[in-house]
A = this chain, B = another copy of it.
C-alpha cells in the first residue's frame, strides 16, 4: 500500500546487534550470587519400575546441596505441556515417577555448587530397576497383550479422530484412477540452538509470601506460570516468569521438560538460586521431536484430474507421554480435508504411546506429515494421468469460499496464485532435466496451506497495551515471546504504522509475566497475525486520544487530521504539529495518560505456499543435493520483508533436513537413543543450503490480520519435503514414500529398479 511508511520496510531489528556481538543476554547467561547448578539423572532402561533409589552417597558428596527423587517431590499428575487445556494436550506426567517409560527419562535431580560436582554426583545415585516389557513401535504398542505405557486406553493417547465429508463409497465408485499407499515419516527434532534452560529463585520466605522467579527459554511464559503455580501450589501472582532473548523454540518450547519443576523445587529446598541447563544430548533425550508415523492414503481421480474421494488413516507415535499428541493428530488429520479439493473424505487419526522419547509440538504440527503423503500422491496421480503435477494441483487448489480445515471459508485464491507464480518463475512447463550421466537432475513441486492461530482447537486471544510517553515516544506491552523470529520488531512496526510515528520511536516491553498483558504463547503462526492485530487495535485507540489532543492545539476537527511519521497535519492545509509537541505537557505533568489496551479474539487465516525445487541425485553414491528452491508464499501483507524471508529460508533449511538427513533414531531392541547429538544427527548447515529465490505475494490479505497480514511461521517447512521427494522421482524415476530419504535407500532403490 502506498500509504504505508513502516510496514513492508525491513527496518533494522533492535535485537540484532546484541545477538551478533554476544551482548544479548539469554536465560542461560544469568549468574546470580550463590547460584547452584542442577543436573538430572536419566534412566538407562526404557520401561521399568524403580525398585530402590539410594541418594545417600550423592548427598554426602562435597558440594551437593540437595537431591530429589520421586520419593520427595510432589506427586501431581500434570499437563506435560502448559498449553491451554483444550483438547490439544494430555495430562499424563508426574514431576518424577516411580516408573520410567523411556530410555533417558529423568529419575533424579541434584543441585550442587558446580555443574561438574552435580554431574559427578549423578553417578553416586544408585537406582535398582525392575525392568518391564517395552513397546518401541506403534505395531508393538497396538499388538494384543502389548505392554501398557500408561494404564489406560490400550496405548492410545486419545480416541481416534474421525473426519467424514460426503460419500466416500460413491467417490471411489466415480473414480477412474485409484491410488493407495502408505507413507512413513521419521523423527526429526527441532534442534534449536539454545538448549532448554531455566534459573529459579525464591524470594525470601515471607518476603512477598515466597515468590518464585523463573528465567527460562519458553514460548509460553504465562502457561509456564500457570502450570508451575498449579503443580507447586502457588497463586499466579507469586510466580514470575521471565523470558528475554530466545535461541529458537519451533513449537517444542511450549512444553515443560521436568527440568523446570525440579529446578524450582531444588531452589526452594536449598534456598538458593538454581540453574539447570540441558546439554545438547539432553535436548534430544528430554526434548520433543516431531511425531514419527504413517499415513495410509487412498484417493480416487477422474481422468481430468478431479479428485473424487480421499481416505486416510494417520497413525502417529507419541513416545512415552502425550504432550501435544491430541492437537497434532487432530490438526494433521483434519488438514487432509483441504489443500486439494475433494468432496468425499473419510479420515482417521490415531496416536499411540510407545516406550520412546516424547514427540510434541514442532513447526508444522502434524501437517508436515500428512501433506507429505498427500502431495506425493498427487504427484503420483499426475504421472499416471499424464497431467503436469503443477497443473493438476492448480486444478484442485482450495480457493475462495471453500471450507477450510477449521470449518470456515477460505479467503482469496492464495494457493492458485502461488502455483501460477512459481510456474512462471521457473518457466515450469518448459523445464528441462536431461537424464544422462551418473548425476541426474529433476524438478519437483509441493504445496501447503497453514492456519494462523490454533482456532478452532483453542479459542485464542491476543492482548496488547500501547502507551505514549510525554515526549511522543511509544511503548508497546506484549506478552508474546520472541523466539528469534523478529516478532517484536514486526509488532512495533504495526504500532508505528497505525499511530503514525517513526519505528525508532516505538519500544517493546515484553518477557515478564508480572508486567505484560496475559498471553497465550508464541505458537500456531499467530504472533504477528493475532498479537499484531491486538497491537494495532491498541495503537488505534491511542491515536484517537492523540488526535483529540492535537485537535485542540491545531483548532481543527479530529476527522480533518492525519498523522504520518511523527507529524500531525490538518489535511489539505499547511498546519501541522509534531506528535511530540501535541503530547508534551507544558508544565511537566501530562494532561492525561495516552494509553490503551486491546484484546483480539481471532478465528483463523490461512497462508499458502508452493515450493519449486531442483535436485540432483548422484546415482553412484545415492547423494541427493537440492540445487535451488523457489518458494512462493502468499501471506496477505509482508510486515518486514527480511524477517519474513528469514522465516521462509529457515523453514526450508529444516524441511530439507527432515526430508534428507535428520532422524532421531531409537534402538529397536533396547529403546536406547542412538544419535542424541549433532555428530550423529545431521542438520543441513549454511554451507549445505541451496540458493533460495523467495517470492512473497500479498494477493489475499486477511481482514483479521494487521494490515491484512497472516502468519508465516510454520508454512515454509511443509511444502519443501514433498517437493524434494517429487523432484527425486523426476530425477531418477524412483518414488520414495517416506522421509528421510537417505543415500543408502537411493542406491538400494536404484538397484531394485535396475533389477
Query: How far, in angstroms, from A238 to B586 measured CA to CA in the complex?
Result: 21
Pick the contact of A471: B223, B235, B467 (CB < 8 A): B235
Q: A18-B207, A469-B236, A512-B515 are in contact. Are A223 and B461 (CB under 8 A)?
A: no
Query: How far, in angstroms, from A237 to B471 measured CA to CA in the complex?
Result: 9
Task: List which A202-218 residues lie within 8 A (CB) of chain B.
Answer: 203-209, 211
Flag A596-629 by CB within 8 Å of B: 1 or 0 each.
Answer: 0101000000000000000000000000000000
Pick the contact of A237: B205, B207, B229, B507 (CB < 8 A): B507
Flag A228-249 by CB within 8 Å of B: 1 or 0 each.
Answer: 0100000111100000000000
A314 to chain B, nearest CB (A): 24
Q: Is the CB of A589 within 8 A of B21?
A: no
- Residue A590, interface by CB 8 Å: yes
Q: Is the CB of B595 within 8 A of A597?
A: yes
Q: Is the CB of B14 within 8 A of A589?
A: no
| Beta-carbon nearest neighbor of A227 in chain B | B588
Q: A512-B515, A518-B593 are in contact. Are A237 and B15 (CB under 8 A)?
A: no
Q: Is the CB of B237 within 8 A of A475?
A: yes
Query: How far, in angstroms, from A238 to B512 measured CA to CA in the complex?
Result: 19
| Beta-carbon nearest neighbor of A475 in chain B | B237
- Residue A637, interface by CB 8 Å: no
| Beta-carbon nearest neighbor of A589 in chain B | B84
Cβ of A237: which chain B residues have Cβ within 8 Å of it?
A: 469, 473-475, 505-507
Q: Is the CB of B17 within 8 A of A458?
A: no
Task: List which A484-540 residues lie within 8 A (CB) of chain B.
Answer: 504-507, 509, 512, 514-518, 520
Cβ of A585: which chain B residues have Cβ within 8 Å of it?
A: 84
| Beta-carbon nearest neighbor of A592 in chain B | B599
Q: Is the CB of B235 within 8 A of A505?
A: yes
- Residue A283, interface by CB 8 Å: no
Query: How far, in angstroms, from A673 to B134 measured CA to CA in the complex?
Result: 84
Cβ of A504: which chain B residues have Cβ within 8 Å of it?
A: 209, 235
Cβ of A587: which chain B residues have Cβ within 8 Å of it?
A: 84-86, 458-459
Flag A1-42 by CB within 8 Å of B: 1 or 0 each.
Answer: 000000000000011011001011000000000000000000
A503 to chain B, nearest CB (A): 10
Number of interface residues of A (CB under 8 A): 63
Q: Is the CB of A207 within 8 A of B15?
A: yes
Cβ of A23: which chain B residues have Cβ within 8 Å of it?
A: 203-204, 207
Query: How far, in angstroms, from A590 to B462 measured CA to CA in the complex?
Result: 11
| Beta-carbon nearest neighbor of A222 in chain B | B470
Query: How far, in angstroms, from A204 to B470 measured CA to CA in the complex?
Result: 25
Q: Is the CB of A207 within 8 A of B84?
A: no
Query: How far, in angstroms, from A226 to B86 measured CA to CA in the complex?
Result: 46
A601 to chain B, nearest CB (A): 9
- Residue A477, interface by CB 8 Å: yes
Flag A83-119 by CB within 8 Å of B: 1 or 0 each.
Answer: 1111000000000000000000000000000000000
Q: A24-B207, A515-B509, A593-B599 are in contact. Are A236 and B473 (CB under 8 A)?
A: yes
Pick the contact of A515: B204, B206, B463, B477 (CB < 8 A): B477
- Residue A662, interface by CB 8 Å: no
Cβ of A194: which chain B residues have Cβ within 8 Å of it?
A: none
- Residue A460, interface by CB 8 Å: yes
Cβ of A517: which chain B residues have Cβ within 8 Å of it?
A: 467, 593, 595
Query: How far, in angstroms, from A461 to B591 measured CA to CA in the complex?
Result: 8
A238 to chain B, nearest CB (A): 8
Cβ of A15: which chain B residues have Cβ within 8 Å of it?
A: 207
Query: How far, in angstroms, from A512 to B516 measured CA to CA in the complex?
Result: 13
Q: A235-B505, A475-B514, A587-B84 are in contact. Are A204 and B459 (CB under 8 A)?
A: no
Q: Is the CB of B14 within 8 A of A207?
A: yes
Cβ of A467: which chain B residues have Cβ within 8 Å of it?
A: 517-518
Cβ of A470: which chain B residues have Cβ within 8 Å of it?
A: 226, 236, 518
Cβ of A589: which chain B residues have Cβ within 8 Å of it?
A: 84, 86, 458-461, 520
Cβ of A229: which chain B residues have Cβ within 8 Å of it?
A: 471
Query: How far, in angstroms, from A520 to B507 measured CA to CA in the complex?
Result: 22
| Beta-carbon nearest neighbor of A517 in chain B | B593
Query: How far, in angstroms, from A707 to B179 measured CA to CA in the complex?
Result: 77
Task: List which A64-91 residues lie within 8 A (CB) of chain B.
Answer: 83-86
Closest 8 CB pairs of A and B: A84-B588, A237-B473, A17-B206, A515-B515, A236-B469, A85-B588, A18-B207, A237-B507
A-B contacts, 16 listed (Cβ < 8 Å): A14-B208, A17-B206, A21-B204, A23-B207, A85-B587, A86-B587, A86-B589, A223-B588, A235-B471, A238-B473, A459-B589, A463-B593, A469-B518, A470-B518, A477-B515, A595-B597
Known: A226-B588, A235-B473, A517-B595. 8 other contacts (CB 8 A): A17-B207, A18-B207, A85-B586, A237-B507, A238-B507, A475-B514, A507-B514, A515-B515
